[in-house]
Structures are given as C-alpha cells and as structure tokens.
Amino acid sequence: MEVTVNKVVDAKGLACPMPIVKTKKEIDNLEPGMVMEIQATDKGSTTDIKAWAENTGHQYLGSTAEGDVFKHYLRKARDEEEKAETKHQDITSLDDLLKKVEGEEKVTVIDVREPAEYAFGHIPGSVNIPLDQLENRFDELDKNDEIHVVCRTGNRSDLAAQKMAGKGFNNVKNVVPGMKEWSGPTEQTN
C-alpha cells in the first residue's frame, strides 16, 4: 500500500513502551490534520497504537505488515472537525447516499480526506481529492454533475462544497456526518 504521509517515525527494534513514547514525542511536532507513519517491530504495537489513539483523541487509520515490520498510520486530531456546524446548505444523509451507491445509476462521490485515510477504507467508486488539492483539480469534475462530497465528519467536505459552489458547481451535496459513521460497503487501496 502506497500512502502519503507527513512524517515517518522509525521505532523499529524498540520494545514497549518506546514506540508509544516516540509516537507521542513526534506527534507534538505535527500540525493538526497531518498524517504520521510509525514503523515498529514490537508485536504489541498494533493494539498499543490503537489504544493510545483512543485515549489521546488522535485518529487511528490502520496498520499494514511487511515481513517483521508493522506500519501504523495516525492522523493528528483537529478539534474543529468534531463540531457539527456546517455552512454549505445542500446536504445528503448517509442513508440517502447509501441508497444511491447501491442503486443502478452512476453516482459521483468525491472523498476529500487525506490519502492515508482514504486508503484504509472508502466508498467503492469514490475518487480521492484531498481538500488541499481541490483547487488544482477542479477540471477533473463536471460542473453540472451531481457531486457528493464526503470526509470523516462533514467538516472538510463542507469547506470543499463551499469552494466548489463558489467555482460554479451547481449541484454539490455535502454528505453528513461522514465516513466516521458510514455503515455501507467500503474498500481499501492495495
């Protein structure tokens, strides 16, 4: 799995609790929303990193294993994402989107999360355009298409929907709340 990250932390060869201690030190240097890859050989690190993220409020994205090396992916918490407030008026619920995804007609879903978040689970057929790349990729999209924009909580997708509406896209729907509560099918990028 190829995943774009902001920081790679090497905790290979280190025993518990060092992978956690190192992760904590390094995440303090990241900006909120940035993604970190932790490489570890400690077999307990998968459950530990996950539990650590749960306790600290950071977002655990997933883990991969290659030989003896585990790679764990975290995204630094961003408080404003947890607030439900959105500005873009045109919204779609997860249930409505699920019906469309399971239906016969083609549906356009743009996932504006970071590539690492997308890689560990996204709606089949959705296209990943991270929020910070959107401005440069408008030409990949059809202005008259019905476009569903999704992220984790509805916050980044709200910003994306506003940007698109400002660019003359006239049928953009923000999917709320987002992948955090999506119960439909997902696929991973291999």
Partner 1 sequence: MKVAIIAANGGMFDAYKVFNIATAAAATDAEVGIFFTFEGLNLIHKEGHKQLPMPEGTEHFQEGFQRANVPPVEDLVSMASEMNVKMIACQMTMDVMSLEKEHFVEGIDVGGAASFLNFASDANITLTF
Nearer to partner 1, 13 or 125 (CB): 13
Dihedral of the CA atoms 133, 127, 97, 181 (nearest 10)?
Answer: -70
Catalytic residue set? 16
Nearer to partner 1, 18 or 165 (CB): 18
- Show Cβ contacts of residue 166 under 8 Å, excluding neighbours closer than 6 positions: none
Nearer to partner 1, 13 or 124 (CB): 13
Least Cβ distance, residue 19 to partner 1 (angstroms): 9
List residues near partner 1 by CB under 8 A.
13-18, 20-21, 23-25, 48, 52, 55-56
Least Cβ distance, residue 30 to partner 1 (angstroms): 15
β-sheet bridge partners, residue 127: 110
Centroid of chain to Cα 74: 10
Least Cβ distance, residue 12 to partner 1 (angstroms): 10
Nearer to partner 1, 45 or 86 (CB): 45
Least Cβ distance, residue 17 to partner 1 (angstroms): 4
